[in-house]
Amino acid sequence: MLKIVVCVSGGGTNLQAILDAVEQGRITNGEIIAVISNNPRAKALERAAARGIPGIVVSPKSYPDREAFNEAFTAKVCGLAPDLVVLAGFLVRIPPQMVAEFSDRIVNIHPSLIPSFCGVGYYGLKVHEKVLERGVKVTGATVHFVNEGMDEGPIIAQKAVYVEEGDTPEVLQRRVMEQAEWVLLPKAIDDIANGRIAVVDDKVVSR
């Protein structure tokens, strides 16, 4: 049974999709052992509590500097000894020491088709604002392993979503979540938990 820690910062709809998938048997061979948030007011913590899953807050504001936070955050995650760390709307850069410790064992969901609309400054609603500004007709979401780069690790899965005339960033964000994120992330976790994928030469392959 794969031990999974989910990191969150906000609403936690992706966390909810994971919890529902575990409950409904769409994720097998995996259990959520804890949810970690940098934000004590994250609704995601309530979603975890409703399922009896421990919620842990590690806030950068409680530490004198980023290095101290990085050490505390990494120590907290390592102490839980997870097999997989899932970043489900986690708005904090993962400490380099943790990336090294959990090579090919951290996954992230990003709300665009990487390598478009990703990297520094592309997070949350901003991604969808930029998509609408540029006028692309297709966007989507990507699940990828986390490496030391920003949104640069091996891609596990992607799903396209149409942009529609009259979309606002909020409307588009919701469509990308419903049609792509909430489908892709649980499926990727199930694939990992059941040994269906591997990383070879920095690319994800089926096995």
Q: Report, as residue numbers or ranges, the catalytic residues.
A: 110
Rounded least distance, CB 73 to ligand GRF, Å: 18
Point out which span in 26-34, 76-84, 104-112, 191-199 binds ligand GRF (CB under 6 A): 104-112
Torsion of CA 75, 79, 80, 83, to 10 degrees: 80
142 near ligand GRF (CB under 6 A): no
Point out which span in 12-20, 50-58, 95-103, 156-164 binds ligand GRF (CB under 6 A): 12-20
Q: Which is nearer to ligand GRF, 10 or 82 (CB)?
A: 10
Cα distance between residue 185 and residue 55, in whole Å: 20
Rounded least distance, CB 1 to ligand GRF, Å: 24
**For residue 172, what are the CA distances in angstroms to 1, 79, 131, 152, 161?**
36, 38, 9, 23, 9
Q: Which is nearer to ligand GRF, 30 or 89 (CB)?
A: 89
11 near ligand GRF (CB under 6 A): yes
Nearest CA to 124 out of 202, 79, 176 is that of 176
- Note whether 141 and 181 are within 8 A (CB): yes
Q: Which is nearer to ligand GRF, 46 or 67 (CB)?
A: 46
153 near ligand GRF (CB under 6 A): no
Joined together, the tokens standing for residue 165 give 């005339």
Cα distance between residue 39 and residue 9, in whole Å: 6
DSSP 47: H
Residue number, nearest CB to ligand GRF: 89
- Note whether 150 and 91 are within 8 A (CB): no
Point out which span in 32-40, 57-65, 107-115, 196-204 binds ligand GRF (CB under 6 A): 107-115
Applying CB under 6 A, the residues found at the interface with ligand GRF are: 8, 10-14, 44, 88-89, 109-111, 123-124, 177, 181
